[in-house]
Structure 1
Protein backbone atom coordinates (compact mmCIF):
# COMPACT_ATOMS: atom_id res chain seq x y z
CA UNK A 1 0.00 0.00 0.00
CA UNK A 2 1.11 3.57 -0.65
CA UNK A 3 2.60 5.81 1.99
CA UNK A 4 4.58 5.53 5.20
CA UNK A 5 3.25 5.11 8.77
CA UNK A 6 2.43 8.32 10.67
CA UNK A 7 4.07 8.55 14.09
CA UNK A 8 1.51 8.61 16.88
CA UNK A 9 -1.39 7.58 14.63
CA UNK A 10 -1.53 3.79 14.46
CA UNK A 11 -3.08 2.50 11.27
CA UNK A 12 -2.64 5.75 9.35
CA UNK A 13 -0.19 6.29 6.48
CA UNK A 14 0.96 9.33 4.55
CA UNK A 15 1.93 9.70 0.92
CA UNK A 16 3.75 13.02 0.59
CA UNK A 17 4.25 14.28 -2.97
CA UNK A 18 6.19 17.28 -4.24
CA UNK A 19 3.57 18.07 -6.86
CA UNK A 20 0.27 16.56 -7.94
CA UNK A 21 -2.69 17.47 -10.09
CA UNK A 22 -5.12 17.12 -7.18
CA UNK A 23 -4.67 15.34 -3.85
CA UNK A 24 -8.34 14.31 -3.95
CA UNK A 25 -7.92 12.78 -7.40
CA UNK A 26 -4.75 10.99 -6.32
CA UNK A 27 -6.51 9.54 -3.29
CA UNK A 28 -9.46 8.34 -5.40
CA UNK A 29 -7.09 6.74 -7.91
CA UNK A 30 -5.36 4.86 -5.11
CA UNK A 31 -8.75 3.74 -3.81
CA UNK A 32 -9.65 2.35 -7.23
CA UNK A 33 -6.33 0.49 -7.14
CA UNK A 34 -7.28 -1.26 -3.91
CA UNK A 35 -5.82 0.94 -1.19
CA UNK A 36 -7.33 0.04 2.18
CA UNK A 37 -7.73 3.65 3.33
CA UNK A 38 -6.61 5.53 6.42
CA UNK A 39 -4.22 7.26 4.05
CA UNK A 40 -3.31 10.94 3.86
CA UNK A 41 -2.17 12.27 0.48
CA UNK A 42 -0.30 15.57 0.83
CA UNK A 43 1.45 17.70 -1.77
CA UNK A 44 3.74 20.69 -1.88
CA UNK A 45 1.61 22.10 -4.69
CA UNK A 46 -1.40 21.18 -6.79
CA UNK A 47 -1.47 21.79 -10.51
CA UNK A 48 -5.17 21.08 -10.95
CA UNK A 49 -6.83 21.70 -7.59
CA UNK A 50 -10.59 21.99 -7.63
CA UNK A 51 -13.38 22.98 -5.32
CA UNK A 52 -17.06 22.70 -4.66
CA UNK A 53 -19.26 23.12 -7.78
CA UNK A 54 -16.20 22.60 -9.98
CA UNK A 55 -14.51 25.85 -8.95
CA UNK A 56 -10.75 26.18 -9.30
CA UNK A 57 -8.45 26.15 -6.27
CA UNK A 58 -5.14 28.01 -6.66
CA UNK A 59 -2.48 25.83 -5.03
CA UNK A 60 1.02 27.41 -4.95
CA UNK A 61 3.84 26.03 -2.75
CA UNK A 62 3.92 26.94 0.94
CA UNK A 63 0.33 26.09 1.88
CA UNK A 64 -1.11 22.77 3.08
CA UNK A 65 -2.90 20.54 0.58
CA UNK A 66 -4.05 17.30 2.17
CA UNK A 67 -6.67 14.63 1.45
CA UNK A 68 -7.64 11.79 3.76
CA UNK A 69 -8.83 8.57 2.13
CA UNK A 70 -11.21 6.35 4.10
CA UNK A 71 -12.91 3.15 2.94
CA UNK A 72 -16.40 2.14 4.10
CA UNK A 73 -16.38 4.92 6.65
CA UNK A 74 -20.14 4.89 7.30
CA UNK A 75 -23.45 4.05 5.61
CA UNK A 76 -24.24 6.47 2.81
CA UNK A 77 -27.23 7.90 4.68
CA UNK A 78 -24.96 9.07 7.50
CA UNK A 79 -22.33 10.78 5.37
CA UNK A 80 -24.36 14.00 5.14
CA UNK A 81 -23.15 14.94 8.63
CA UNK A 82 -19.47 14.23 7.97
CA UNK A 83 -18.68 17.85 6.90
CA UNK A 84 -19.53 19.00 10.42
CA UNK A 85 -16.88 16.71 11.90
CA UNK A 86 -14.36 17.84 9.29
CA UNK A 87 -15.02 21.51 10.03
CA UNK A 88 -14.48 20.90 13.75
CA UNK A 89 -11.23 19.05 13.04
CA UNK A 90 -9.78 21.76 10.81
CA UNK A 91 -10.79 24.47 13.28
CA UNK A 92 -9.05 22.61 16.11
CA UNK A 93 -5.93 21.98 14.01
CA UNK A 94 -5.47 25.65 13.16
CA UNK A 95 -6.18 26.68 16.76
CA UNK A 96 -3.52 24.22 17.96
CA UNK A 97 -0.90 26.25 16.09
CA UNK A 98 -1.49 29.08 18.58
CA UNK A 99 -3.73 32.07 17.94
CA UNK A 100 -2.48 35.61 18.69
CA UNK A 101 -4.58 37.56 21.17
CA UNK A 102 -7.78 38.90 19.68
CA UNK A 103 -7.73 36.48 16.75
CA UNK A 104 -11.13 35.18 15.64
CA UNK A 105 -11.23 31.72 14.11
CA UNK A 106 -14.74 30.61 13.21
CA UNK A 107 -16.47 27.97 11.11
CA UNK A 108 -18.57 29.37 8.28
CA UNK A 109 -21.41 27.24 6.94
CA UNK A 110 -21.24 25.04 5.00
CA UNK A 111 -17.52 24.18 4.89
CA UNK A 112 -15.13 27.11 5.31
CA UNK A 113 -12.90 28.50 8.05
CA UNK A 114 -12.80 32.25 8.65
CA UNK A 115 -9.78 33.90 10.22
CA UNK A 116 -10.62 37.44 11.33
CA UNK A 117 -13.62 37.36 8.95
CA UNK A 118 -11.56 36.26 5.92
CA UNK A 119 -11.44 32.80 4.40
CA UNK A 120 -8.30 30.81 5.22
CA UNK A 121 -9.37 27.30 4.30
CA UNK A 122 -11.64 25.33 2.04
CA UNK A 123 -12.75 21.72 2.21
CA UNK A 124 -14.06 19.34 -0.43
CA UNK A 125 -15.54 15.96 0.50
CA UNK A 126 -16.16 13.32 -2.15
CA UNK A 127 -17.59 9.81 -2.03
CA UNK A 128 -17.26 7.20 -4.76
CA UNK A 129 -18.47 3.63 -5.14
CA UNK A 130 -15.57 1.38 -6.12
CA UNK A 131 -15.54 -1.49 -8.57
CA UNK A 132 -15.02 -3.94 -5.69
CA UNK A 133 -18.31 -2.87 -4.13
CA UNK A 134 -16.75 -0.80 -1.34
CA UNK A 135 -17.09 2.95 -0.90
CA UNK A 136 -14.28 5.50 -0.83
CA UNK A 137 -14.62 8.81 1.01
CA UNK A 138 -12.02 11.53 0.49
CA UNK A 139 -11.72 14.53 2.80
CA UNK A 140 -9.80 17.29 1.02
CA UNK A 141 -8.43 20.28 2.94
CA UNK A 142 -6.61 23.29 1.51
CA UNK A 143 -5.31 25.67 4.18
CA UNK A 144 -3.68 29.00 3.29
CA UNK A 145 -0.46 29.35 5.28
CA UNK A 146 1.71 31.87 3.43
CA UNK A 147 -0.52 32.96 0.55
CA UNK A 148 -4.11 32.94 -0.57
CA UNK A 149 -5.98 33.02 -3.89
CA UNK A 150 -7.34 36.27 -5.22
CA UNK A 151 -10.63 36.91 -3.43
CA UNK A 152 -13.58 35.26 -5.11
CA UNK A 153 -16.93 35.56 -3.40
CA UNK A 154 -15.33 36.33 -0.03
CA UNK A 155 -12.22 38.08 1.38
CA UNK A 156 -9.30 35.69 1.87
CA UNK A 157 -6.24 35.53 4.11
CA UNK A 158 -3.40 33.23 5.18
CA UNK A 159 -2.34 32.02 8.62
CA UNK A 160 1.11 33.60 8.62
CA UNK A 161 -0.33 36.95 7.60
CA UNK A 162 -2.52 36.84 10.68
CA UNK A 163 0.45 36.12 12.95
CA UNK A 164 -0.07 32.36 13.25
CA UNK A 165 3.27 30.56 13.19
CA UNK A 166 2.60 27.45 11.09
CA UNK A 167 4.34 25.45 8.38
CA UNK A 168 2.83 22.74 6.21
CA UNK A 169 4.51 20.10 8.38
CA UNK A 170 3.45 21.46 11.75
CA UNK A 171 -0.07 22.10 10.54
CA UNK A 172 -0.35 18.62 9.03
CA UNK A 173 0.69 17.09 12.36
CA UNK A 174 -2.13 18.97 14.09
CA UNK A 175 -4.62 18.25 11.30
CA UNK A 176 -4.01 14.50 11.15
CA UNK A 177 -4.50 14.16 14.90
CA UNK A 178 -7.51 16.48 15.07
CA UNK A 179 -9.17 14.62 12.20
CA UNK A 180 -8.67 11.25 13.88
CA UNK A 181 -10.14 12.62 17.11
CA UNK A 182 -13.16 14.21 15.39
CA UNK A 183 -13.86 11.08 13.34
CA UNK A 184 -13.73 9.00 16.50
CA UNK A 185 -16.29 11.27 18.18
CA UNK A 186 -18.44 11.35 15.03
CA UNK A 187 -18.36 7.53 15.07
CA UNK A 188 -19.84 6.86 11.66
CA UNK A 189 -22.54 9.44 12.29
CA UNK A 190 -23.67 8.03 15.62
CA UNK A 191 -21.90 10.81 17.54
CA UNK A 192 -23.30 13.69 15.50
CA UNK A 193 -24.93 15.25 18.58
CA UNK A 194 -21.55 15.92 20.21
CA UNK A 195 -20.02 17.09 16.93
CA UNK A 196 -22.93 19.44 16.27
CA UNK A 197 -22.45 21.12 19.64
CA UNK A 198 -18.75 21.66 18.96
CA UNK A 199 -19.57 23.03 15.50
CA UNK A 200 -22.11 25.49 16.91
CA UNK A 201 -19.67 26.64 19.59
CA UNK A 202 -17.25 27.70 16.84
CA UNK A 203 -19.80 28.89 14.26
CA UNK A 204 -19.72 32.34 12.69
CA UNK A 205 -22.84 34.50 12.67
CA UNK A 206 -25.31 32.59 14.82
CA UNK A 207 -28.24 34.86 15.57
CA UNK A 208 -27.12 37.41 12.98
CA UNK A 209 -28.82 38.55 9.79
CA UNK A 210 -27.46 36.76 6.73
CA UNK A 211 -28.09 36.37 3.04
CA UNK A 212 -27.82 33.10 1.17
CA UNK A 213 -27.29 32.92 -2.57
CA UNK A 214 -29.18 29.92 -3.92
CA UNK A 215 -28.89 28.60 -7.47
CA UNK A 216 -31.02 31.39 -8.96
CA UNK A 217 -32.13 33.61 -6.09
CA UNK A 218 -31.13 35.20 -2.79
CA UNK A 219 -32.88 34.81 0.54
CA UNK A 220 -32.31 36.82 3.74
CA UNK A 221 -33.12 36.27 7.39
CA UNK A 222 -31.72 35.33 10.80
CA UNK A 223 -29.23 32.46 11.06
CA UNK A 224 -30.79 30.25 13.74
CA UNK A 225 -28.32 27.38 13.51
CA UNK A 226 -28.09 23.98 11.86
CA UNK A 227 -30.16 20.86 12.33
CA UNK A 228 -28.82 17.38 13.09
CA UNK A 229 -27.96 16.88 9.41
CA UNK A 230 -26.05 20.14 9.04
CA UNK A 231 -28.86 21.90 7.16
CA UNK A 232 -28.94 25.66 7.74
CA UNK A 233 -31.99 27.03 9.56
CA UNK A 234 -32.97 30.52 8.36
CA UNK A 235 -35.81 32.54 9.92
CA UNK A 236 -37.17 34.82 7.21
CA UNK A 237 -38.80 38.20 7.79
CA UNK A 238 -42.28 36.70 7.54
CA UNK A 239 -41.49 34.36 10.43
CA UNK A 240 -41.13 31.22 8.35
CA UNK A 241 -38.27 28.80 9.01
CA UNK A 242 -36.42 27.90 5.82
CA UNK A 243 -34.14 24.86 5.69
CA UNK A 244 -31.22 25.33 3.27
CA UNK A 245 -28.90 22.49 2.33
CA UNK A 246 -26.59 24.35 -0.10
CA UNK A 247 -25.74 27.94 -0.93
CA UNK A 248 -23.23 30.79 -0.58
CA UNK A 249 -23.54 32.61 2.74
CA UNK A 250 -22.96 36.34 3.32
CA UNK A 251 -22.81 38.44 6.49
CA UNK A 252 -22.69 42.11 7.45
CA UNK A 253 -22.13 44.70 4.73
CA UNK A 254 -22.00 42.01 2.04
CA UNK A 255 -25.73 41.40 2.50
CA UNK A 256 -26.74 44.71 0.93
CA UNK A 257 -24.52 44.33 -2.12
CA UNK A 258 -25.54 42.85 -5.47
CA UNK A 259 -26.03 39.13 -5.73
CA UNK A 260 -22.59 37.56 -5.98
CA UNK A 261 -21.82 35.71 -9.20
CA UNK A 262 -21.68 31.95 -8.98
CA UNK A 263 -18.04 31.95 -10.00
CA UNK A 264 -14.66 31.06 -8.58
CA UNK A 265 -14.54 30.36 -4.88
CA UNK A 266 -11.38 29.00 -3.25
CA UNK A 267 -12.08 25.56 -1.91
CA UNK A 268 -9.86 22.54 -2.00
CA UNK A 269 -9.80 19.21 -3.75
Structure 2
Protein backbone atom coordinates (compact mmCIF):
# COMPACT_ATOMS: atom_id res chain seq x y z
CA UNK A 1 0.00 0.00 0.00
CA UNK A 2 1.12 3.53 -0.81
CA UNK A 3 0.00 6.68 1.02
CA UNK A 4 -1.57 7.88 -2.23
CA UNK A 5 -3.42 4.66 -3.10
CA UNK A 6 -6.53 5.75 -5.04
CA UNK A 7 -9.99 5.74 -3.48
CA UNK A 8 -13.10 4.43 -5.26
CA UNK A 9 -16.07 6.17 -3.61
CA UNK A 10 -19.62 4.80 -3.55
CA UNK A 11 -22.67 6.74 -2.38
CA UNK A 12 -24.19 3.43 -1.26
CA UNK A 13 -23.01 -0.18 -1.47
CA UNK A 14 -23.88 -3.48 0.16
CA UNK A 15 -20.46 -3.81 1.83
CA UNK A 16 -17.03 -2.46 0.98
CA UNK A 17 -15.49 -5.79 1.98
CA UNK A 18 -17.91 -7.63 -0.30
CA UNK A 19 -16.96 -5.34 -3.19
CA UNK A 20 -13.27 -6.03 -2.48
CA UNK A 21 -13.98 -9.76 -2.49
CA UNK A 22 -15.82 -9.49 -5.81
CA UNK A 23 -12.92 -7.60 -7.38
CA UNK A 24 -10.34 -10.05 -6.05
CA UNK A 25 -12.29 -13.06 -7.27
CA UNK A 26 -12.41 -11.43 -10.70
CA UNK A 27 -8.62 -11.04 -10.65
CA UNK A 28 -8.48 -7.34 -9.74
CA UNK A 29 -6.28 -6.94 -6.68
CA UNK A 30 -5.72 -3.19 -6.44
CA UNK A 31 -4.05 -1.60 -4.62
CA UNK A 32 -7.26 0.30 -4.11
CA UNK A 33 -9.40 1.80 -1.37
CA UNK A 34 -13.13 1.15 -1.63
CA UNK A 35 -15.06 3.71 0.42
CA UNK A 36 -18.79 4.22 0.94
CA UNK A 37 -21.01 6.79 2.57
CA UNK A 38 -23.60 4.13 3.34
CA UNK A 39 -23.69 0.33 3.48
CA UNK A 40 -26.88 -1.64 3.07
CA UNK A 41 -25.44 -4.95 4.27
CA UNK A 42 -22.45 -4.02 6.38
CA UNK A 43 -20.97 -6.80 8.47
CA UNK A 44 -18.36 -7.34 11.13
CA UNK A 45 -16.57 -10.37 12.50
CA UNK A 46 -18.38 -13.72 12.51
CA UNK A 47 -20.92 -12.37 10.02
CA UNK A 48 -22.45 -9.93 12.49
CA UNK A 49 -24.44 -7.04 11.10
CA UNK A 50 -22.64 -3.69 11.15
CA UNK A 51 -24.83 -0.59 11.53
CA UNK A 52 -23.93 1.72 8.64
CA UNK A 53 -25.75 5.07 8.79
CA UNK A 54 -24.75 7.94 6.53
CA UNK A 55 -22.18 10.37 7.93
CA UNK A 56 -19.76 7.64 8.97
CA UNK A 57 -16.93 6.07 6.97
CA UNK A 58 -16.91 2.53 5.60
CA UNK A 59 -13.72 1.67 3.76
CA UNK A 60 -11.71 -1.35 2.67
CA UNK A 61 -8.12 -1.50 1.46
CA UNK A 62 -7.68 -4.13 -1.28
CA UNK A 63 -4.12 -5.19 -2.10
CA UNK A 64 -1.83 -8.14 -2.67
CA UNK A 65 0.30 -9.19 0.29
CA UNK A 66 3.57 -10.80 -0.85
CA UNK A 67 4.10 -12.23 2.64
CA UNK A 68 0.94 -14.28 2.32
CA UNK A 69 -1.27 -15.33 5.20
CA UNK A 70 1.58 -15.01 7.72
CA UNK A 71 1.54 -11.24 7.29
CA UNK A 72 -2.24 -11.09 6.84
CA UNK A 73 -2.74 -12.19 10.46
CA UNK A 74 -0.74 -9.13 11.60
CA UNK A 75 -3.00 -6.64 9.88
CA UNK A 76 -5.74 -6.25 12.53
CA UNK A 77 -3.04 -4.76 14.77
CA UNK A 78 -1.78 -2.52 11.96
CA UNK A 79 -5.29 -1.29 11.18
CA UNK A 80 -6.09 -0.59 14.83
CA UNK A 81 -2.96 1.49 15.25
CA UNK A 82 -3.68 3.32 11.99
CA UNK A 83 -7.09 4.39 13.33
CA UNK A 84 -5.44 5.41 16.61
CA UNK A 85 -2.99 7.52 14.56
CA UNK A 86 -5.91 9.23 12.83
CA UNK A 87 -7.57 9.91 16.18
CA UNK A 88 -4.37 11.48 17.47
CA UNK A 89 -4.76 14.11 14.74
CA UNK A 90 -8.55 14.53 14.63
CA UNK A 91 -9.34 14.15 18.34
CA UNK A 92 -5.98 14.36 20.15
CA UNK A 93 -7.49 14.44 23.65
CA UNK A 94 -9.48 11.24 23.22
CA UNK A 95 -8.17 8.33 25.35
CA UNK A 96 -8.15 5.80 22.50
CA UNK A 97 -7.72 2.15 23.41
CA UNK A 98 -7.40 -0.96 21.27
CA UNK A 99 -9.58 -3.91 22.21
CA UNK A 100 -8.13 -7.28 21.24
CA UNK A 101 -8.28 -8.38 18.54
CA UNK A 102 -9.76 -5.68 16.32
CA UNK A 103 -11.83 -2.87 17.84
CA UNK A 104 -10.95 0.74 18.58
CA UNK A 105 -12.73 2.14 21.65
CA UNK A 106 -12.84 5.25 23.83
CA UNK A 107 -13.93 4.86 27.45
CA UNK A 108 -15.44 1.48 26.60
CA UNK A 109 -17.46 2.83 23.66
CA UNK A 110 -16.80 1.50 20.17
CA UNK A 111 -15.38 3.95 17.64
CA UNK A 112 -14.20 1.61 14.89
CA UNK A 113 -14.51 -2.05 13.97
CA UNK A 114 -11.97 -3.86 11.81
CA UNK A 115 -12.52 -6.87 9.57
CA UNK A 116 -9.56 -8.43 7.76
CA UNK A 117 -10.31 -11.01 5.07
CA UNK A 118 -7.89 -12.76 2.74
CA UNK A 119 -7.71 -15.22 -0.12
CA UNK A 120 -5.17 -16.87 -2.37
CA UNK A 121 -3.53 -14.53 -4.86
CA UNK A 122 -1.12 -15.21 -7.73
CA UNK A 123 2.37 -16.56 -7.14
CA UNK A 124 1.96 -17.50 -3.50
CA UNK A 125 0.62 -14.10 -2.46
CA UNK A 126 -2.61 -13.38 -0.62
CA UNK A 127 -5.18 -10.77 -1.51
CA UNK A 128 -6.20 -8.71 1.49
CA UNK A 129 -9.45 -6.90 2.16
CA UNK A 130 -8.81 -4.73 5.21
CA UNK A 131 -12.17 -3.25 6.20
CA UNK A 132 -12.62 -0.44 8.71
CA UNK A 133 -15.97 0.97 9.80
CA UNK A 134 -15.40 4.24 11.65
CA UNK A 135 -18.07 6.24 13.43
CA UNK A 136 -17.38 9.77 12.20
CA UNK A 137 -20.52 11.85 12.71
CA UNK A 138 -22.93 9.35 14.28
CA UNK A 139 -22.71 6.94 17.20
CA UNK A 140 -25.17 4.17 16.23
CA UNK A 141 -27.72 3.21 18.86
CA UNK A 142 -29.32 -0.17 19.49
CA UNK A 143 -26.25 -2.10 18.36
CA UNK A 144 -25.79 -4.11 21.53
CA UNK A 145 -22.93 -2.01 22.92
CA UNK A 146 -21.92 1.55 23.67
CA UNK A 147 -20.68 3.54 20.70
CA UNK A 148 -19.04 6.91 20.15
CA UNK A 149 -17.97 8.96 17.13
CA UNK A 150 -15.16 11.30 16.17
CA UNK A 151 -17.45 14.32 16.09
CA UNK A 152 -18.35 13.75 19.75
CA UNK A 153 -14.67 13.33 20.59
CA UNK A 154 -13.69 16.55 18.81
CA UNK A 155 -16.47 19.02 19.69
CA UNK A 156 -16.29 22.27 17.78
CA UNK A 157 -14.13 20.77 15.02
CA UNK A 158 -15.94 19.81 11.80
CA UNK A 159 -15.16 16.18 10.96
CA UNK A 160 -16.44 14.31 7.91
CA UNK A 161 -15.85 11.01 6.13
CA UNK A 162 -13.71 12.56 3.37
CA UNK A 163 -11.34 14.10 5.91
CA UNK A 164 -10.99 10.82 7.78
CA UNK A 165 -10.43 8.84 4.57
CA UNK A 166 -7.58 11.16 3.59
CA UNK A 167 -5.99 10.65 7.00
CA UNK A 168 -6.38 6.87 6.95
CA UNK A 169 -4.54 6.37 3.65
CA UNK A 170 -1.02 7.36 4.82
CA UNK A 171 -1.58 6.04 8.36
CA UNK A 172 -2.54 2.57 7.15
CA UNK A 173 0.28 2.46 4.57
CA UNK A 174 2.78 3.24 7.31
CA UNK A 175 1.40 0.59 9.67
CA UNK A 176 1.26 -2.11 6.96
CA UNK A 177 4.94 -1.49 6.24
CA UNK A 178 5.67 -1.79 9.95
CA UNK A 179 3.69 -5.03 10.18
CA UNK A 180 5.86 -6.48 7.42
CA UNK A 181 9.23 -5.20 8.63
CA UNK A 182 8.96 -4.75 12.42
CA UNK A 183 6.04 -6.70 13.81
CA UNK A 184 7.56 -6.90 17.33
CA UNK A 185 7.73 -3.10 17.41
CA UNK A 186 4.17 -2.84 16.11
CA UNK A 187 2.94 -5.18 18.85
CA UNK A 188 4.74 -3.14 21.53
CA UNK A 189 2.97 -0.01 20.33
CA UNK A 190 -0.36 -1.83 20.13
CA UNK A 191 0.11 -3.22 23.64
CA UNK A 192 0.80 0.29 24.96
CA UNK A 193 -2.78 1.16 23.92
CA UNK A 194 -4.34 -2.19 24.86
CA UNK A 195 -7.67 -2.01 26.65
CA UNK A 196 -7.74 -4.20 29.74
CA UNK A 197 -4.05 -5.05 29.92
CA UNK A 198 -3.34 -6.23 33.46
CA UNK A 199 -7.07 -6.51 34.19
CA UNK A 200 -9.53 -9.36 34.42
CA UNK A 201 -11.20 -10.20 31.12
CA UNK A 202 -13.68 -12.75 29.88
CA UNK A 203 -13.12 -14.63 26.61
CA UNK A 204 -16.30 -15.68 24.83
CA UNK A 205 -19.88 -14.56 25.32
CA UNK A 206 -21.34 -18.06 25.55
CA UNK A 207 -20.89 -20.35 28.53
CA UNK A 208 -18.52 -21.77 29.45
CA UNK A 209 -16.41 -18.61 29.10
CA UNK A 210 -12.79 -18.28 30.17
CA UNK A 211 -11.97 -15.63 32.75
CA UNK A 212 -8.48 -14.53 33.69
CA UNK A 213 -6.01 -11.67 33.64
CA UNK A 214 -4.83 -10.22 30.32
CA UNK A 215 -1.05 -10.24 30.83
CA UNK A 216 0.25 -9.45 27.33
CA UNK A 217 0.64 -10.62 23.77
CA UNK A 218 2.43 -13.54 22.18
CA UNK A 219 4.95 -12.84 19.36
CA UNK A 220 2.21 -13.71 16.84
CA UNK A 221 -0.34 -11.41 18.51
CA UNK A 222 -2.15 -14.07 20.54
CA UNK A 223 -3.57 -12.92 23.87
CA UNK A 224 -1.89 -14.26 27.01
CA UNK A 225 -4.56 -15.07 29.60
CA UNK A 226 -3.43 -15.90 33.13
CA UNK A 227 -6.03 -18.22 34.65
CA UNK A 228 -6.96 -18.21 38.36
CA UNK A 229 -4.75 -21.29 38.95
CA UNK A 230 -1.68 -19.41 37.66
CA UNK A 231 -1.41 -21.20 34.32
CA UNK A 232 -1.37 -19.21 31.07
CA UNK A 233 -3.69 -19.90 28.14
CA UNK A 234 -2.95 -18.46 24.69
CA UNK A 235 -6.06 -17.11 22.95
CA UNK A 236 -6.01 -16.57 19.20
CA UNK A 237 -9.69 -16.01 18.52
CA UNK A 238 -12.72 -14.91 20.49
CA UNK A 239 -14.62 -12.01 22.01
CA UNK A 240 -12.93 -10.22 24.90
CA UNK A 241 -14.76 -8.19 27.51
CA UNK A 242 -13.52 -6.54 30.67
CA UNK A 243 -14.93 -7.97 33.88
CA UNK A 244 -15.61 -5.08 36.23
CA UNK A 245 -15.11 -5.71 39.92
CA UNK A 246 -18.24 -5.24 41.99
CA UNK A 247 -17.61 -3.82 45.44
TM-score (structure 2 length as normaliser): 0.90
Partner of 2:18: 25
For 1:215 and 1:195, locate their aligned partners in 2 and report how far apart those are by CA, in whole Å.
31
For 1:151 and 1:119, locate their aligned partners in 2 and report how far apart those are by CA, in whole Å.
13
For 2:122 and 2:236, locate their aligned partners in 1 and report how far apart those are by CA, in whole Å.
30
Query: How far did residue 85 of structure 1 move?
Result: 1.3
Secondary structure at 2:211 match in 1: strand
For 1:127 and 1:55, locate their aligned partners in 2 and report how far apart those are by CA, in whole Å.
18
For 2:144 and 2:218, locate their aligned partners in 1 and report how far apart those are by CA, in whole Å.
25
Secondary structure at 1:149 match in 2: coil
Partner of 1:9: 3
For 2:123 and 2:49, locate their aligned partners in 1 and report how far apart those are by CA, in whole Å.
31
Query: How far did residue 96 of structure 1 move?
Result: 1.6
Query: How far did residue 214 of structure 1 move?
Result: 5.9
Query: How far did residue 111 of structure 1 move?
Result: 0.3
For 1:215 and 1:159, locate their aligned partners in 2 and report how far apart those are by CA, in whole Å.
31
CA contact (8 A) 1:94 1:171 kept: no
What is the CA deviation profile of residues 132-186 of structure 1, one whole-angstrom value per residue up to 9, with x for unaligned ones? 9753110000001122333545321122123354210111111111001101112
CA contact (8 A) 2:178 2:186 kept: yes
Higher relative contact order (CA 8 A, sep 6+): 1
Partner of 2:53: 60
Query: How far did residue 131 of structure 1 move?
Result: 8.1
For 1:66 and 1:144, locate their aligned partners in 2 and report how far apart those are by CA, in whole Å.
12
For 1:215 and 1:80, locate their aligned partners in 2 and report how far apart those are by CA, in whole Å.
25
Count how many residue pairs are aligned between Structure 1 and Structure 2.
244
Query: How far did residue 79 of structure 1 move?
Result: 2.2
What is the CA deviation profile of residues 189-238 of structure 1, one whole-angstrom value per residue up to 9, with x for unaligned ones? x4211111110111111111111216642111111011111111011111
Runs of 4+ in 1 over 6 A off after TM superposition: none
Secondary structure at 2:191 match in 1: helix
Query: How far did residue 246 of structure 1 move?
Result: 1.4
For 1:134 and 1:118, locate their aligned partners in 2 and report how far apart those are by CA, in whole Å.
36
For 2:222 and 2:123, locate their aligned partners in 1 and report how far apart those are by CA, in whole Å.
32
CA contact (8 A) 2:113 2:132 kept: yes
For 1:152 and 1:16, locate their aligned partners in 2 and report how far apart those are by CA, in whole Å.
26
1:237 to 228, 242, 245: 228
1:181 maps onto 2:181 in alignment: no
Answer with 176-185 or 155-164: which moved more: 155-164
Partner of 1:154: 145
Partner of 1:267: none
Partner of 2:209: 218
For 2:203 and 2:43, locate their aligned partners in 1 and report how far apart those are by CA, in whole Å.
22
